[in-house]
C-alpha cells in the first residue's frame, strides 16, 4: 500500500513539474509512445489486418446480396 502511495506522489510531482510548456508536452508524448505503449508485432499486425479486411468483405457481400434481393423484389412488385 505504501508503495502505491509513493508511486502516486511521484507521478503527481512529475505531472506538476511538466505543466507549462509545449516542449514538455511533446517530451511527454514521445516518452509515452516509446516507453509505455506496447506496439503490436508484425505478425500481430498482419493477423489483425486480415481479420478487419475479412470482416469488411463479408459484411459488404452480405449487405450487397440483400440489397440485390430487395431491389429485384421491388422490381417484380412494381411491374
The Cα 46–Cα 11 span in angstroms is 36
Q: Phi/psi at 67 (nearest 5 deg)?
A: -60, -45
Element holding 2 (H helix, E strand) = helix 2-18
Reported as a single tens digit per residue, the pLDDT across 17-65 is 556 799 999 999 999 999 999 999 999 999 999 999 999 999 999 999 9
Q: How many Å is the maximal CA-CA distance in the chain?
A: 79
Q: Provide the 8-state DSSP code for 34.
A: I
What's the pTM? 0.56
Give 65 or 15, the one with higher predicted confidence.
Answer: 65
Amino acid at each position: 500500500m505504501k508503495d502505491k502511495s509513493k508511486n502516486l506522489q511521484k507521478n503527481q510531482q512529475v505531472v506538476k513539474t511538466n505543466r507549462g510548456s509545449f516542449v514538455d508536452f511533446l517530451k511527454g508524448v514521445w516518452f509515452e509512445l516509446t516507453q509505455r505503449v506496447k506496439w503490436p508485432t508484425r505478425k500481430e499486425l498482419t493477423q489483425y489486418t486480415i481479420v478487419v479486411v475479412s470482416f469488411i468483405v463479408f459484411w459488404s457481400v452480405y449487405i450487397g446480396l440483400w440489397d440485390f434481393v430487395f431491389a429485384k423484389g421491388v422490381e417484380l412488385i412494381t411491374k
